[in-house]
Amino acid sequence: ETGVTQTPRHLVMGMTNKKSLKCEQHLGHNAMYWYKQSAKKPLELMFVYNFKEQTENNSVPSRFSPECPNSSHLFLHLHTLQPEDSALYLCASSQDWPDPNTEAFFGQGTRLTVV
Amino acid sequence: GQNIDQPTEMTATEGAIVQINCTYQTSGFNGLFWYQQHAGEAPTFLSYNVLDGLEEKGRFSSFLSRSKGYSYLLLKELQMKDSASYLCAEVDSNYQLIWGAGTKLIIKP
């Protein structure tokens, strides 16, 4: 139990589908993140939310749309994805942002395959 | 841009010691993290260094040299369960984490 829960664990979707990834944290943290992890590549930060406000958007294509209704929940809405978007999508949370010495707690990720 | 370099893969023997190196660019440094990630699992925090020197936590130790832009993770008395990827991440001047691609550590009996 990591304190950060992601659903679903696995997702296969067609390029015309619309789906959403969900993340929930029970740690009382103020900051939540979406990362993309591709094989043998560094983690790529996609979005950061601090106190429900988006503070970072690292040039992510508009086919990825985040939503943060409260400090405990984070969604990533997906539509018209491309096969190269297939990856492990990790959600994380930390006490605050930015806070350089605060560790991040990660969920187990959603393994996304776009066909 | 910032680059984090760490070996792609290492192999070690159960009971032995292994050192995983990480180099980073030194401008605007605000700390360095090590995370462990087992296959199919979430990355989990191992250590954070912001000052030079060695920090020990049980079988795992992390070292930092800011002047050299260099860190290492030292794992002693290796166990099979230590087989995992080890991720190095630098906190840059904008307080963003710059991640390495990870080192896959394979432990053999």
Mean pLDDT of A93-111: 89
pLDDT at position B1 is 46
Mean pLDDT of A42-56: 87
- The residues, any chain, with a CB within 8 Å of residue A11's CB and separated by 6 or more, are A19, A21, A110, A111, A112, A113
Cβ within 8 Å of B, A 25-84: 40-45, 56
Using one digit for the tens of pLDDT, what is the confidence trace for A59-85?
A: 899 999 999 999 899 999 999 999 999
Using one digit for the tens of pLDDT, what is the confidence trace for A32-47?
A: 999 999 988 999 999 9
- The residues, any chain, with a CB within 8 Å of residue B58's CB and separated by 6 or more, are none
A9, A12, A17, A23 alpha-carbon torsion, rounded to 10°: 10
Q: Is A56 helix (H, G, I), strand (E, B) or coil?
A: strand
Task: Tell me the pLDDT of chain B (109 aa) as tens digits.
Answer: 458 999 999 999 999 999 999 999 877 888 999 999 999 899 999 999 999 999 999 999 999 999 999 999 999 999 999 999 999 999 988 888 899 999 999 999 9
pLDDT at position A91 is 97
Q: How confident is the model at residue A24 (pLDDT cuts 50, 70, 90)?
A: very high
Interface test mutation site (partner B, options A6, A29, A43, A96, max chain B beta carbons within 10 A): A43
Chain A interface includes B109 (CB < 8 A): no
Chain A interface includes B8 (CB < 8 A): yes
pLDDT at position B2 is 58
Please give the Cα distance from A114 to B91 (Å, whole number): 32
- HSE (CB half, 13 Å, CA atoms) of B71? 30
- The residues, any chain, with a CB within 8 Å of residue B81's CB and separated by 6 or more, are none
- Chain A CB contacts of B98 below 8 Å: 42
Whether B100 contacts B43, CB under 8 Å: no
**The two structure tokens encoding residue A47:** 């979005």
Q: How confident is the model at residue A97 (pLDDT cuts 50, 70, 90)?
A: confident
Whether B4 contacts B90, CB under 8 Å: yes
DSSP for B13-53, written as a single string: ETTS-EEEEEEE--TT---EEEEEE-TTS--EEEEEE-SSE
pLDDT at position A2 is 55
pLDDT at position B106 is 98
Whether B99 contacts B34, CB under 8 Å: no
> How far does Cα A94 stand from its chain's mean position?
13
- Chain A CB contacts of B48 below 8 Å: 101, 103
Q: Is the pLDDT of residue A15 over 70?
A: yes
Whether A66 contacts A34, CB under 8 Å: yes
Residue showing tokens 């018209």? A80
- Whether residue B30 and residue A100 make contact (CB cut-off 8 A), yes or no, is yes
- Whether residue A106 and residue B43 make contact (CB cut-off 8 A), yes or no, is yes
pLDDT at position B14 is 97
Whether B69 contacts B60, CB under 8 Å: no
How far B102 CA sits from the closest chain A CA (Å)? 7
